[in-house]
Structure formats: structure tokens, C-alpha cells
Amino acid sequence: MVLITDLRPVHVVGIGLHPYQYPTETSYIELGLQAVREALVDAGITWPAVEAAFVGTARLGMAAGVPMLRYLGMTGLRVSQVENASATGSTAFRQAVAEVASGLADVAIAIGVDKPIGRIAAPDTGITPISPVQDVPFARYALLTERYLAEAGYTKEQIGLVAVKNHNNGALNPYAQRRKRRTLEEVVRPPYVAGSLNSLQITPIGEGAAAVIVMSDEAMDRFKVDQRRSVRVAASSTVSDQAFDGANADVALTQAATQAAYEEWGGDPSDLDVVEVHDAFAIEELLFVEAMGLCPPGQGAAELAKGSFDIGGRHAVSPSGGLLAMGHPLGPTGLGQIAEITRQLRGEAGDRQQPDARVGLAHMVGIGPVCVVHILQR
């Protein structure tokens, strides 16, 4: 099997976002254009340089791309729409990276843009479920949280510390949907949505946009891109559900996808400086940092409490605020992670800066389940 990094080197050269926010009347076109224009300025190029666009959206429906991109000037570039549930933006990024790595393009853009307006196809399989709520995410994650509490012997407060950390990181991020510092008491107290899940332990529904421009070496020379601000794509892996025989599928997929990414990168999880994790629910961060090998199994809560996952700790986990605080507008989310890691590796993350960050990992899971992991390196 050929890996993307066996092909031509690919570099992230431009990032842009429209802040994530609670749903408004703002057109998705306005959201998306703001992110793309910011990314173009960041890369120091103009729209005609872009040869291919991958537009990631999970909720907008058919044909979202060209009706938005035409307002940048109709250049005739290749446009494809990408959907992969919560991993939509991550998958759009992988497609853009593959386009450049393969030589099909020298400059490509991945754009995530979404508003919560469309339907979700996954429940409409024609199969009647055992209960009508078995696929409601917060009910499912409440059950997972309670199981983790019982089997790992953790307390609600230990899981609540994930939310405290990520809300406090989000308070430092001008693109975050939730920008308020929170105390442990605030994130664990009633009212509960389900089980012991307070709404501050659940990602908010929102809208927003994110864009990432990638280039080949040749294009970086041609457009005189500042190499000190570019970040190399060191690994790209994606997997979907396998017959795991009762194991938590999201955890098993995370192990499989990160292991493949580590092998492609040639590094070790202990060398990761920044990790953006799919933390739609607080419990997920603990499960996934363990699955990724950032700490031994069962040690996630203890390491979190010690500050290992804080900005300035051993690995800064979700310095953007993660899905819990930065938000999760679906299409943009995975690209927002790439933008955050790029900012961190450039040393441009301001108050959120992880000191001397050189390597970062972005991780998303999505309904299916699917899992997408990227590693970026300075």
C-alpha cells in the first residue's frame, strides 16, 4: 500500500477561520468566504493560484461548493464536496493533501463550512432499533461515562477536569464558540442532560468555517511562500469500523488510526507536543489519550490531574479548547484542528502557545464509526 507521505512532500501554508458560534441567520457563504480569504492572506497567495478545492460539509446538503466559491472569482478550479460525519473536515484535508502529494495539483484547499440545517442519514437505514434513543449521542455517551466511572473507578470530578481544561483553553481562543473559563463545580453540577453529563461536558451545536491551503515544494518556491511558517504533513491515516467483537469501536479505531500514523511518521507518541482530540464528550478525551498511547491505560485521569495535558504540560491536549469549547460545527471541525496545530507549530498561538511545539496530531472520529488522524511537523 502506498502512503500519502511516500509521494511528494505536502506543506500547510495557509489557515483561516470564521469563528465558531451558536446558529445565526448568517449565510454559510459568508462563513466560508471569511475562512478562505483569511487562509489566502495567511499563505500570501491569491485565489487563482488554487487548483483544487475540497468542500467539507455535513449538514448543508447538495452543491454547497461552487455557489460559495464563485464569489472569490470563477477561476474554473476543480471543486468536490466531501462528507464524513464529524470527520468531514479531516477527510477534506486528507483529500487536498492527496491531491498535492499525487501531483494532480500543486496548490489545493480544504474548506469546512456548516450550519445545522440538514438531516442526518445514519438513522434512516430501514432497520428498527431496539429503542428509539439508542443512537442519540448524549445518551450513548452518558452510558459510556457511567461505565467508565464504574469500571475504572474514576469519579465525576476527574472526568469534569477535562471540561475545565478545555473551557479554560477555549477562553483564550478568539475563534472558540465557548469563551468562558469554568470551575470544576460548574461542569459537574446538575442539571444533567443524561446520567452525570452536565451540558458543559458536551460539545455545543454551532456553525462556522475553516480553511487550510496545502502546497508542493515546487509551488512554495513559485509563490515565494515563507518556509519558516509552513508545516509539513508527516502522516495521514483513516480507518472505518471493523468487527471488533464488543470492544469500544471508537477507541479501537483510534488505536488503529494513530498506530498507522505513528508508523508513517516514524515517531513515538511521547514526541507529540500538541494533540487535538475529538472530545465531543468529556469522557472521550480520557479514552482517546490512553488509546493514542499518551499515557498508560487507566492513567488518563491521573495524568490530567497532574497537568500533563495542560498547555505547558507534557502534551498540550486540545489547546484550541477542543470540541467542548472551541465547538463542533461538523464540516469545519477537523480543519480547525489543523489550523490550531499549524498555529502552534509556527509559534503563533499567543496565550495558548505550547512551548517549542514541533509535532502535532489531529484526531477525529465520526458516525459510522470512522476515524481520521493527521500528524504535522515543523
Partner 1 sequence: MVSKDIPSEEAGPLWVDSEQGIQLIGWICHKCGQRGVPRQRFGCERCGAPGDEIRETRFEARGVLRSFAEVHRHAKWPVPFAMGEISLADGPTIHAFLDDEVEWHPGATVVGQGGDRLRDSYVVFTLGER
Q: From the CB of 148, what's the least distance to partner 1, in Å?
A: 8
- Answer yes or no: are the C-beta atoms of 344 and 316 closer than 8 Å: yes
- Answer yes or no: are the C-beta atoms of 10 and 232 closer than 8 Å: yes
- Comparing C-alpha atoms, which of 176, 200, 172, 174 is closest to residue 186? 200
**Candidate segments 100-108, 188-196, 265-273, 297-305, binder of partner 1 by CB under 8 A:** 188-196
- Comparing C-alpha atoms, which of 370, 267, 332, 303 is closest to residue 115? 332
Q: From the CB of 183, what's the least distance to partner 1, in Å?
A: 22
Footprint of partner 1 on residues 207-246 (CB under 8 A)? 243, 246
Does residue number 130 form part of the binding site for partner 1 (CB under 8 A)?
Answer: yes
In the complex with partner 1, the residue whose CB is nearer, 62 or 127, is: 127
Q: From the CB of 331, what's the least distance to partner 1, in Å?
A: 22
Does residue number 146 form part of the binding site for partner 1 (CB under 8 A)?
Answer: yes
**Candidate segments 121-129, 230-238, 290-298, 311-319, binder of partner 1 by CB under 8 A:** 121-129
Contacts of 15 (CB under 8 A, 6+ apart): 38, 39, 42, 210, 211, 212, 213, 338, 339, 342, 343
**Grid coordinates 464569489 are at which residue?**
71
Out of 63, 66, 120, 143, the residue judged to bind partner 1 by CB under 8 A: 143
In the complex with partner 1, the residue whose CB is nearer, 44 or 137, is: 137
Does residue number 142 form part of the binding site for partner 1 (CB under 8 A)?
Answer: yes
CA distance 62 to 57: 9
Reduce the DSSP state of residue 360 to 3 states and report it: strand
Does residue number 120 form part of the binding site for partner 1 (CB under 8 A)?
Answer: no
Does residue number 144 form part of the binding site for partner 1 (CB under 8 A)?
Answer: yes
Does residue number 2 form part of the binding site for partner 1 (CB under 8 A)?
Answer: no
**Candidate segments 88-96, 147-155, 347-355, 368-376, binder of partner 1 by CB under 8 A:** 147-155
Out of 120, 133, 302, 305, the residue judged to bind partner 1 by CB under 8 A: 133
Out of 70, 78, 147, 181, the residue judged to bind partner 1 by CB under 8 A: 147
Does residue number 155 form part of the binding site for partner 1 (CB under 8 A)?
Answer: no
Q: How many residues bind partner 1 (CB under 8 A)?
A: 32
Out of 184, 194, 205, 367, the residue judged to bind partner 1 by CB under 8 A: 194
**Candidate segments 4-12, 143-151, 170-178, 366-374, binder of partner 1 by CB under 8 A:** 143-151
Q: From the CB of 283, what's the least distance to partner 1, in Å?
A: 11
**Candidate segments 9-17, 146-154, 172-180, 285-293, binder of partner 1 by CB under 8 A:** 146-154
Does residue number 119 form part of the binding site for partner 1 (CB under 8 A)?
Answer: no
**Grid coordinates 453529563 are at which residue?**
197
Amino acid at 248: N
CA–CA distance from 170 to each of 192, 197, 212 (Å)? Answer: 22, 19, 20
**Grid coordinates 493527521 are at which residue?**
374
Q: From the CB of 123, what's the least distance to partner 1, in Å?
A: 9
**Rounded-to-10 torsion of CA 76, 80, 86, 87:** -100
Q: From the CB of 158, what's the least distance to partner 1, in Å?
A: 17
- Answer yes or no: are the C-beta atoms of 372 and 250 closer than 8 Å: no
Can the peptide bond before residue 297 be classed as cis, meaning omega within 30 degrees of 0?
no
Helix (H) or strand (E) holding 326: none
- Measured in whole angstroms, the distance separating CA 218 from the mean position of its chain's CA atoms is 28
Residue 184 burial (10 A CB sphere; 0-12, 13-18, 19+): middle
Does residue number 131 form part of the binding site for partner 1 (CB under 8 A)?
Answer: yes
CA distance 260 to 268: 11
**Could you list the residues that contact partner 1 (CB under 8 A)?**
124-134, 136, 138-140, 142-147, 150-151, 191-197, 243, 246
